A and B are shown apart, each in its own frame.
Chain A
Amino acid sequence: MSPRRRRPPLAVLLALSLLAGACGGDDEQGAPPGPAEGSDPAVTLRLVTHDSFAASEEVLAGFTEASGIEVELIANGDAGLVVNQAILTKEDPLGDVLFGVDNTLLTRALDEGIFVPYESPLLEDVDEAYLLDPQHRVTPVDHGEVCLNYDRAHFDEAELAPPDDLDDLVDPAYRGLTVVEDPSTSSPGLAFLLATVDRYGEDGWRDWWSRLRDNDVLVSPGWEDAYYGSFSGGSGEGDRPIVVSYASSPPVEVLNADPRPAVAPTGVVEASCFRQVEAAGILAGTEHEEEARELVDFLLSLPFQEDVPLQMFVFPVNREAQLPALFVEHAVVPDDPLSLPVEEIGANRERWVEEWLDTVVR
């Protein structure tokens, strides 16, 4: 044996660690990484968001070019974590604008006073239904619907009609077919719980869930496990043909397949959809309120709005925005989705989740 030959790798590791030192050194006060070098934008805004935020680099660059404002993304964790971080650091905010607070999380953020109001002129192209706060402390940017998805092939083969209502799920014919996410650990799981509260009311939702439990529902902790692990449709590797996912999941199945199928392998149960509206707000304490307003306007402008479907797989709120062909062909946008007022969600969320746990898993 002659282990001496293996000297280079350790040298490489050490060199890499020095590199790490260099990288640590160069980001004093959050200088933007990479492509910004050379140009000298007047202001850098920090956009605090969740880790599924995405936009075309081209579209963001267009904003920087037109406004002279550089955007630095700060994205750690899911939407709930991001909102809580913002609350925790409100004395010394992490950024200038926050994007990603939705109607299921909004109350706490508003109560804590982390946003300053701004009424964007572009709101005239947005339906009233999407406005979350009459004082405009947050501005709606996109909406996505959490809906039951089903595996088309399974229902064709089984000669069973796909479910078209929440009532079907507790029908013995659909026994053992459904997988849902735990609302105490999952955001779509929470949205689906809220859907059932809206549909069956404060007096009826627990009864529906206990019947679903008796009908052998499977509960997963998160979307990934439910969809990839237990769902049989599309890219799912499990054997349950009904799952709680998104209205945009069927077009995404088409997009992320090679070759792309003519018809999406999964369908959406329209009557089960719950609307989540994502919004942006200017963080109190920012030193760049003027520029922050420009950024909020940009989020509502057509270049960003039309970019949203294929980047984050949600729908634009600006009624002038054109949907991409993929969404026109394969997506369902429910006309009248289930929803609950923000204040009602804020006041009852934790109690509902506890009662759900008591009804379904404990």
Chain B
Amino acid sequence: MRPGATSGAAARRLGARRGVSWLAVAAVPTAFLGVFFAWPVAAIVARGLDGGAVVEVLGDPGLRRVAWFTLWQALASTVLTLVLAVPGAHVLARYDFRGRRVVRALVTVPFVLPSVVVGTAFVGLLGRGGPLAPLGLDRSVVAVLVAHAFFNYAVVVRTVGGLWAHLDPALEESARVLGASRWQAFRHVTLPLLRPALAAAGAIVFLFCFTSFGVVLVLGGPGRTTIEVEVYRQTAQLLDLRAAAALTLLQLAAVVALVAVHARAQRRRAGALRLRPANEVLVRPRGRQRLLLGGNLLVMATLLGVPLVSLVERSFASGDGYGLASWRALSSSRRGSTLFVSPLEALGSSLTYAAAATVISMVVGGLAAFAVARHTTVAARGFDALLMLPLGTSAVTVGFGFLITLDSPPLDLRGSAWLVPLAQALVATPLVVRSLVPVLRSVDVRLKEAAATLGAPPWRVLREVELPLVGRALLVGASFAFAVSLGEFGATVFLARPDRPTLPMAIVRLLGQPGALNLGQAMAMSTILLLVTAAAVLAIEGRRVGEVSEL
């Protein structure tokens, strides 16, 4: 204890008050995750929990092979995605070029497509007879990794680009003036500053790939399965809840280990940064920068553009040529059947659910991010880690858990339309948190202290200092949450009522029957889905909420 009793007591009082307000802010996300995640998952695991089964399942050499494949493909996918997408995040955050906003919106689109659609697109391109068949990637691990990069490119662009867009270029320029090479300046100045965002992006991509389902099944070829696939088989097909519980615990343990590593990386983060308005750091690319920009646009066009274009093209295929038959059929075929959904209705359901999920996840995730970013205590770090768990849990586990827990008052939600946005918000919330925390932590603490010293109560510090600084990140988080909710499939298909399917559900339903018109309609609906997603992302991010420029 230092001398100076009075100031020490004041500091302790202040600390106690901050502790109380921390608990208050953390209460909402804790309650949300407790009721809609921890309780259902715990209930379904408890049904099957059996020490013998855990030992038996974990001792099975077949499972060890599956666990090893799950782990290394997720690591490799994460590395590949980062390598491909970090330069893309750079050019989209820093270079001013015509169509920048549209490109930024378009890279988000793959995120929402059902994996069976992307799977058939990749098989069509890579399989025997496809235009990329000579690469020999059909049913290979490489195809799985590339498809994962296709899906997750946007995660890196949004999370890393979100911070990069605000880094003061003067820092790197000073290093250059002092004689550092371009690479040295990047390596020793920019990279350390970006580390929290890189860690966040890496963690999200890893978790998505770790729990990958459709992509691995369709593209990996037989015999290559993930823990997620095994959980699905044991729960949904074999109803072996003992094995499913053991596998779910294994999955959770792996996720906890990952987020612990991630939390360490966050702790070694750089200190507060001087953030700059995004449009002030934009430069018109010149010379080598144009080359870098061109190269990255080429990567995006190849990785993201080719599969998307092939999908749009197939929606216009008709006989041996092109036509509008599939588009016309969208509004007419199978009308009068209980199975018929007009694409407009499905789109309406999708947008409604996703909007509700976005609002929920912004409230829950926003509060959680503020709670996490303000404190570096063990409790805050542990809380941060727990927020990530839903990303690493099987949708079928959560869905079955909902069935057996949310079935009696006061929470009798079975059959309620609310279950869908609630489940989508579970997946969207960690993304909101990860988008916000790196930016929030970079807010100079002295600004907040100055405001507090001048007598501003905590809510005013939040409103007048932090909110303006993180407005941009809030929008990025919102569009991210909206996109991931639009595309959520695993839990949605389980919880949505048959008369109100989402667009991805309608697409997959169409692919359940043979016929050129069915395939064409599925592709046409996918085209609608991707256009709407791009438009929604543009609309949300085009807004201006307390830009940094207001400083």
Q: Are the C-beta atoms of B338 and A85 separated by less than 8 Å?
A: no
Q: Could you say which residues of chain B place their CB within 8 Å of the CB of A345?
A: none
- Type the 1/0 row for A220-253, where 1 means its CB is closer than 8 Å to any CB of B: 1111110111100011111100000100010011
Distance, CA A20 to CA B496, complexed state (A): 13
Q: Are the C-beta atoms of A84 and B515 separated by less than 8 Å?
A: no
Q: Are the C-beta atoms of A360 and B336 separated by less than 8 Å?
A: no
Distance, CA A222 to CA B220, complexed state (A): 13
Q: Which of A24, A75, A230 has the largest count of B CB atoms less than 10 A from its CB?
A: A24
From B222, B407, B536, give the contact of A89 (CB < 8 A). B407
Check if B25 is an interface residue, CB within 8 A of chain A: no
Q: Are the C-beta atoms of A221 and B218 separated by less than 8 Å?
A: yes
Please list the 9 inter-chain residue pairs (A to B) with the smallest Cβ-Cβ separation, ordered nearest first. Answer: A256-B515, A9-B539, A20-B356, A54-B339, A75-B498, A17-B355, A221-B217, A361-B222, A361-B223
Q: Are the C-beta atoms of B403 and A57 separated by less than 8 Å?
A: no
Q: Which of A161-195 contact B (CB under 8 A)?
A: 182, 184-185
Distance, CA A16 to CA B513, complexed state (A): 32
Distance, CA A81 to CA B544, complexed state (A): 45
Distance, CA A351 to CA B229, complexed state (A): 19
Q: Which of B340-391 contact A (CB under 8 A)?
A: 351-353, 355-356, 358-359
Check if B453 is an interface residue, CB within 8 A of chain A: no
Q: Are the C-beta atoms of A10 and B339 separated by less than 8 Å?
A: no
Closest chain A CB from B535 CB (angstroms): 8
Q: Are the C-beta atoms of A185 and B217 separated by less than 8 Å?
A: yes
From B120, B356, B417, give the contact of A224 (CB < 8 A). B120
Q: Could you say which residues of chain B place their CB within 8 Å of the CB of A77?
A: 236, 493-494
New A-B pairs, 8, CB < 8 Å, besides A73-B497, A224-B508: A20-B355, A33-B497, A57-B337, A60-B338, A74-B415, A238-B123, A256-B514, A257-B516
Q: Are the C-beta atoms of A74 and B352 separated by less than 8 Å?
A: no
Distance, CA A78 to CA B236, complexed state (A): 9
Distance, CA A57 to CA B336, complexed state (A): 6
Q: Which of B338, B496, B509 has the largest count of A CB atoms less than 10 A from its CB?
A: B338
- Type the 1/0 row for B399-427, where 1 means its CB is closer than 8 Å to any CB of A: 01001100110000011111001000000
Check if B132 is an interface residue, CB within 8 A of chain A: no
Number of contacts between A and B (CB, 8 Å)? 215
Closest chain A CB from B532 CB (angstroms): 11
Q: Are the C-beta atoms of B542 and A6 separated by less than 8 Å?
A: yes
Q: With A74-B498, A229-B123 known to touch, is A221 a contact of B222 (CB < 8 Å)? A: yes
Q: Are the C-beta atoms of B355 and A14 separated by less than 8 Å?
A: yes
Q: Could you say which residues of chain B place their CB within 8 Å of the CB of A184?
A: 233, 237
Closest chain B CB from A145 CB (angstroms): 15
Q: Which of A4-24 contact B (CB under 8 A)?
A: 4, 6-7, 9-10, 13-14, 16-17, 19-21, 23-24
| Nearest-neighbor residue (CB-CB) of A235 within chain B | B516
From A3, A9, A94, A228, give the contact of B519 (CB < 8 A). A228
Q: Are the C-beta atoms of A89 and B404 separated by less than 8 Å?
A: yes
From B120, B237, B517, B542, give the contact of A257 (CB < 8 A). B517
Check if A68 is an interface residue, CB within 8 A of chain B: no
Check if B397 is an interface residue, CB within 8 A of chain A: no
Q: Are the C-beta atoms of B355 and A6 separated by less than 8 Å?
A: no
Q: Could you say which residues of chain A place their CB within 8 Å of the CB of B176?
A: none
Check if A332 is an interface residue, CB within 8 A of chain B: no
Distance, CA A88 to CA B353, complexed state (A): 27
Give 22 pairs: A residue, B residue, CB < 8 Å, sorted on A. Answer: A6-B542, A13-B482, A13-B539, A30-B415, A51-B498, A53-B338, A54-B337, A54-B338, A73-B498, A76-B495, A76-B496, A85-B400, A85-B403, A94-B403, A185-B233, A220-B218, A224-B116, A224-B508, A225-B218, A239-B129, A253-B516, A256-B518
Point out residues on B near A: beta carbons under 8 Å. Answer: 116, 119-120, 123-124, 127-129, 217-218, 221-223, 229, 233, 235-239, 279, 318, 325, 329, 333-334, 336-339, 351-353, 355-356, 358-359, 400, 403-404, 407-408, 414-418, 421, 482, 493-500, 505, 508-509, 511-519, 535-536, 539-540, 542-544
Q: Are the C-beta atoms of A225 and B119 separated by less than 8 Å?
A: yes
Distance, CA A3 to CA B356, complexed state (A): 24
| Nearest-neighbor residue (CB-CB) of A357 within chain B | B223
| Nearest-neighbor residue (CB-CB) of A71 within chain B | B338
Closest chain A CB from B236 CB (angstroms): 5
Closest chain B CB from A226 CB (angstroms): 10
Q: Could you say which residues of chain A place their CB within 8 Å of the CB of B496?
A: 76
Q: Are the C-beta atoms of B543 and A7 separated by less than 8 Å?
A: yes
| Nearest-neighbor residue (CB-CB) of B65 within chain A | A362
Q: Are the C-beta atoms of A360 and B516 separated by less than 8 Å?
A: no
Closest chain B CB from A248 CB (angstroms): 9
Q: Are the C-beta atoms of A234 and B338 separated by less than 8 Å?
A: no
Q: Could you say which residues of chain A place their CB within 8 Å of the CB of B352?
A: 16-17, 19-20, 23
Check if A302 is an interface residue, CB within 8 A of chain B: no
Q: Are the C-beta atoms of B544 and A92 separated by less than 8 Å?
A: no
Q: Are the C-beta atoms of B236 and A84 separated by less than 8 Å?
A: yes
From B329, B500, B509, B543, give the contact of A3 (CB < 8 A). B543
Check if A115 is an interface residue, CB within 8 A of chain B: no
Closest chain A CB from B479 CB (angstroms): 10
| Nearest-neighbor residue (CB-CB) of A54 within chain B | B339
| Nearest-neighbor residue (CB-CB) of A92 within chain B | B407
Q: With A53-B338, A88-B400 known to touch, is A313 a contact of B513 (CB < 8 Å)? A: yes
Q: Which of B318, B493, B542 has the largest count of A CB atoms less than 10 A from its CB?
A: B542
Check if A135 is an interface residue, CB within 8 A of chain B: no
Distance, CA A313 to CA B515, complexed state (A): 12
| Nearest-neighbor residue (CB-CB) of A76 within chain B | B494
| Nearest-neighbor residue (CB-CB) of B495 within chain A | A76
Closest chain A CB from B402 CB (angstroms): 11
From B129, B218, B540, give the contact of A13 (CB < 8 A). B540
| Nearest-neighbor residue (CB-CB) of A89 within chain B | B403
Q: Are the C-beta atoms of A252 and B513 separated by less than 8 Å?
A: yes
From A6, A53, A85, give the contact of B539 (CB < 8 A). A6
Q: With A10-B539, A19-B352, A361-B222 known to touch, is A224 a contact of B338 (CB < 8 Å)? A: no
Q: Are the C-beta atoms of A229 and B124 separated by less than 8 Å?
A: yes
| Nearest-neighbor residue (CB-CB) of B122 within chain A | A229
| Nearest-neighbor residue (CB-CB) of B512 within chain A | A52
Q: With A33-B497, A57-B337, A73-B498 known to touch, is A182 a contact of B222 (CB < 8 Å)? A: yes
Q: Could you say which residues of chain B place their CB within 8 Å of the CB of A20?
A: 352-353, 355-356, 417, 421
| Nearest-neighbor residue (CB-CB) of B521 within chain A | A256
From A74, A76, A224, A234, give the contact of B512 (CB < 8 A). A224
Q: Are the C-beta atoms of B536 and A237 separated by less than 8 Å?
A: no
From B222, B237, B358, B515, give the contact of A360 (CB < 8 A). B222
Distance, CA A108 to CA B256, complexed state (A): 35
